[in-house]
Amino acid sequence: MTRRLRTLEDLGDLAGKRVLVRCDFNVPLDDGGRITEDLRIQATLPTLRELLDAGAALVCCSHLGRPKGAPDPRLSLAPVAGRLQDVLGRHVRLLPEATGPSVTEAAQGAVAGSVLMLENVRFDPRETQDDPGFADELAALADVYVDDAFGAAHRAHASVHAVAERLPSAAGRLLQREVEVLSRLRDGPDEPFVAILGGAKVADKLGVVDALLDRVDALLVGGAMAFSFLAVQGAEVGRSLVDPDRYDDVRASLDRAKERGVLIQLPEDVVCATEASADAKRQTVPADRIPRDTIGLDVGPRTVEEFARTLADARTVLWNGPMGMFELEPFAAGTRGVAKAVAAVDAFTVVGGGDSVAALRKLDLADAVDHLSTGGGASLEFIEGRELPGISVLMERE
């Protein structure tokens, strides 16, 4: 019998209860510490509001960046607390640490409708060790636990995994929705199913490539990862990023695709330059004839056209990863073009990965897709069929 994900309904009456909510507030910051993209904050608002409306007191926790187990003022959750206060419309009190006497006192005194936020849980080295003692300290702050941090669900960390074993626990609405949508893609997508993968490192995506070859009708590959696919087919890729150590795996993926009748569509043209700089002179060339002294930094306009042609017939679309160095404006056109093509298709569309989502939001096309996934690595590992610690611990106990 299939195990069921526990949801908020399983927690019963929450009036007067303290709820520890694991959020994914790992948002991008600029050099001045200002939030540049708040999708992950916005996405958890339905859960937070539902809990508050039920009469709960909230103790929110999250990580931000990789502070290496020690306090780092640049990675404080202070900007997040400020933004959450603005969008939630009620006071959010940031505590100075994740656990400790002052935190315990504040949590014990929390009243219905109040919102506390613990400081970055990764400031404590025990977080990433899934440490039982740290989990005990977190669990002592609340009566129940809700996990709405899908973006961290693939991590066996204390605030994601061990604490859920110590309190009545359930998934928040964001995590619940992510599991429902990605399960549909993994287990029963409407066909044709077309996936688009981009990003820098082919090694990071080979697992999901192999998993998708059992499910998709076409796989469109862009970003720097495409150059390893082109190179093994004899293309001249100049100084573009490749991973020769994984060429055998890339060849194996191409062979599997051919056996299964899956189209792997690679770029036909690319935008290249002598260096990855916004000021560098750029040119558009055939993808298999990139000049030796240049680097491929974006897919070209013909590639966007051909990708859009393949997408037009799709009934299910998954897009994860940019088509080029999207953060530099001269090399953002390919990602924008694919964003427009995905938004235009009459299909069930799911987009994940920070740059892909950012492209849609920048173009005001976010509402044109069915689901924006807040998890990059987590969503890909879920589709691969891996067990995610933060989800398995929330499954109905047998």
Instruction: Tell me the catalytic residues.
Output: 40, 201, 354, 377
3-class SS at 71? coil
What is the distance in angstroms between the CA of the first residue and the CA of the last residue of the chain?
A: 10
What is the C-alpha to C-alpha distance for residues 374 and 336, in angstroms, rounded to an integer?
19
Tokens of 186: 């993994």
By C-alpha distance, which of 95, 104, 110, 102 is closest to 138?
A: 104
Burial of 27 (0-12, 13-18, 19+ CB in 10 A): buried
166: phi then psi, degrees, rounded to nearest 5? -110, -10
> How is 272-300 classified by DSSP, letter by letter?
EESSS-TTS-EEEEETTEE-TT-EEEEE-
Show the beta-strand stretches assigned E in 182-221.
193-197, 218-221
DSSP state of 60: E
Distance in angstroms (rounded) separating the CA atoms of residues 158 and 129:
7
Q: Quick one: which of 311, 309, 339 has its CA closest to 326?
A: 339
Closest CA to 137 of 147, 126, 122: 126
- Specify the DSSP element, H or E, that contains 175: helix 173-187
Cβ proximity of 225 and 202 under 8 Å: yes
Burial classification of residue 218, based on how many CB atoms lie within 10 Å of its CB (0-12 exposed, 13-18 middle, 19 or more buried): buried
Residues in the chain: 398
Tokens of 89: 């419309």
